[in-house]
């Protein structure tokens, strides 16, 4: 409270027992002095110059979390836009309980000039490319479990079945014709059904036996 006296002196009167409390901060709003970070270089079809995206993360009691993002480029015409993205996304990283929703929001932004293919993928805008980099960052540092690694772990955990086990499970056709590679041509019926049993040549087709002659 400011009180103006007659002698034009200004006196500031402080009210006792009253203080302004700060708003409660989010789960990761306090930035430590040192953070781990990864840098990604993006050559986008939507901007002229290459963009460098730096993403920082910290380890907390509840797990690894993103803490900040920096977007830099030599293109000064878009520097203000990059500053806005940097501040907004960093604020979401520090205060949101689950920052994954920002990926869907960025992917939903469409460039008025149309989308473009980049490294075999189609992006609606530069912001969608930023979301793709953030998602890759989440996978790289372990904030989000990679779907490919999950499938790999599942395949490794499955019991291996050897060839003998597979062959033992194949049903056997008892009516199948047995083929003997030792059969020879029978002199009577001219069919390859002659084999030697107990020292005698016998034909399995016509009953010819050399011992009977």
Average pLDDT in the chain: 75
What's the pLDDT at 148? 56
Contacts of 18 (CB under 8 A, 6+ apart): none
Q: pLDDT band for 110, please (50, 70, 90 cuts).
A: very high
What's the pLDDT at 11? 45
Specify the pTM: 0.56
For 79, phi then psi, to 5°, come to -65, -40
CA angle 91, 97, 102 (to 5 degrees): 55
DSSP state of 144: S
What's the pLDDT at 169? 53
* Residue 119, pLDDT above cutoff 50: yes
Encoded tokens for 99: 């920052």
Tell me what percent of the residues of the chain surpass a pLDDT of 90.
35
Least confident of 48-52, 62-66, 136-140: 62-66
Distances (CA, A) of 9 to 5, 12, 175: 6, 10, 118
Tell me what percent of the residues of the chain surpass a pLDDT of 70.
68
Least confident of 42-46, 76-80, 159-163: 159-163
For residues 195, 200, 203 and 204, what is the CA-based torsion angle, rounded to 10 degrees?
A: -70
**Residue ranges covered by each domain of the chain:** 36-145, 180-213
């Amino acid at each position: 409270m400011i009180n103006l006296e007659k002698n034009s002196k200004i006196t500031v009167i402080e009210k006792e027992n009253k203080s302004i409390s700060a708003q409660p901060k989010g789960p990761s709003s306090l930035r430590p002095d040192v953070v781990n970070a990864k840098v990604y270089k993006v050559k986008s079809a939507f901007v002229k110059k290459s963009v460098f995206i730096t993403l920082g993360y910290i380890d907390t009691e509840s797990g690894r979390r993103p803490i900040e993002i920096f977007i830099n480029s030599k293109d000064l015409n878009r520097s203000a836009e990059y500053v806005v993205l940097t501040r907004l996304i960093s604020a979401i990283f520090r205060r949101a309980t689950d920052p994954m929703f920002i990926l869907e929001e960025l992917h939903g932004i469409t460039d008025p000039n149309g989308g473009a293919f980049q490294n075999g993928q189609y992006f609606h805008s530069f912001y969608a490319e930023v979301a793709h980099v953030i998602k890759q960052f989440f996978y790289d540092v372990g904030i989000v479990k990679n779907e490919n690694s999950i499938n790999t772990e599942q395949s490794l955990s499955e019991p291996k079945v050897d060839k003998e086990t597979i062959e033992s499970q194949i049903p056997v056709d008892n009516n199948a014709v047995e083929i003997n590679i030792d059969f020879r041509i029978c002199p009577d019926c001219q069919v390859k059904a002659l084999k030697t049993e107990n020292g005698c040549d016998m034909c399995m087709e016509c009953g010819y036996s050399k011992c009977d002659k």
